[in-house]
Amino acid sequence: MLARRGTSLTAMALAVTAVFSTPAMAEWKPDKPINIIVPWSAGGSTDQVTRVVAPILEEALGTPIVIVNQPGASGSIGTKAALDAPRDGYTWTANAIANNATYSVTGMIEGTSINDYYVMLHVANVPVVSVNADKDYTDFGAFLEAMKTGDVKIGTAGVNSSGGMAMAAIKEAAGGDELSARMVTYDGGNPAVLAAASGEVDATTQLATEQTEMIKAGKLRSLAVLSDKPLEVEGLDAIPPITQWLPDMPVAPDYFGVFIPVGAPDEVYETVGKVWEEKVMTSEAMMAYASERGAVFDPSFGQAAMDRAMPVVIAEACARVSRGEAVLDPSEIGITCPTE
């Protein structure tokens, strides 16, 4: 039975909207370094893109930005550390927004939801199914059959990571119990990808941004992207959409970004939002990163970012229920799951 908690997302959303739609406020001038906690190991998708955006923020705000890698428990340890830090504007976090929005649904962090953050998004990422280059699978259909009949090991960064959620979604779309593939968990997307490239595991379902170097180096063979359209990556052949084999599989863009816990002075959010709009949303470095790594540069901030993120948030929260992974009903944090 799902636990229940009396938090109203609607009420919280109104409060957050009120804070971030107030008239122009004093400019925030930080007087010490800002820490961005990346709750995954170095080299993974979140770490990569945060290290691209951090120098842009650093220059605009005139203060050092320190990236702190704090992996563990599918990103929940570092995320909780950011939530537990003083709400003074000097401790932020970075992640896929669906993770931050659903940690309470799986019981990893109690009493949290998407409305605990001021949201700034930069790229949308997509998982890719890739196998070790020495394996014989030539397309996703062949690999899917192997997942049904053999002891296939797939490396991910954990059940709450993009790779873990991708693997669960594939199982669900392909018939669930028919698949015998085993997930092997690592401390981040980069270690999971390296495990697949070295042959320690057979495959990975982590994000394209984490895999492109190994694919280009011939260590991994990409079979399908979790999308309804082919993925174009600079220097690679187009990766076919998974819907070519699983036509009814639901797919939604997985948005990544930087998040500031609510409760800091209003001028923090006003200033950083302005910097995001003027510097990050026009950044050639961010555009180049997306093009080279197989991400979609689609920046937004504030309420616009919240609205953009909700489809993947709803999809992931409700998938937790259908897979029996939820300990909290998503409705308790304002997420209404669609009915059949």
Per-residue pLDDT, 50: 98
> What DSSP string describes 240-285?
PBGGGT-TT-----EEEEEEEETTS-HHHHHHHHHHIIIIITT-HH
Q: Which residues of the chain have pLDDT under 50?
A: 1-25
Q: Count helices and strands (H / E) in the chain.
A: 11, 11
Dihedral, 152, 158, 161, 167 alpha carbons, nearest 10: 20
Q: Can you give 179-204 as a three-state secondary structure string?
A: CCCEEEECCCHHHHHHHHHHCCCCEE
The pTM of the full predicted model, rounded to 2 decimals, is 0.79
Q: 114 to each of 120, 143, 195, 255, 322, how far by Cα in Å?
A: 12, 36, 32, 13, 21
Per-residue pLDDT, 340: 55
Residue indicated by tokens 């948005």: 255
Map residue 339 onto helix, strand or coil. coil
Map residue 219 onto helix, strand or coil. coil
The two beta strands, 34-38 and 117-125, are: unpaired
A 10 A CB-CB count for 85 gives: 15
Query: In the chain, which ranges are E strands?
Result: 34-38, 65-69, 91-96, 117-125, 128-132, 153-156, 182-185, 203-204, 220-225, 254-261, 296-301
A 10 A CB-CB count for 41 gives: 20
Question: Nearest-CA neighbor of 158 among 248, 35, 46?
Answer: 46
Per-residue pLDDT, 250: 84
Per-residue pLDDT, 26: 66
Per-residue pLDDT, 14: 42
Per-residue pLDDT, 165: 86
Edge-to-edge strands, sheet with 34-38: 65-69, 34-38, 91-96, 254-261, 117-125, 296-301
Q: How far apart are CA 186 and CA 189, in angstroms?
A: 7
Q: How far apart are CA 216 and CA 184, in angstroms?
A: 24
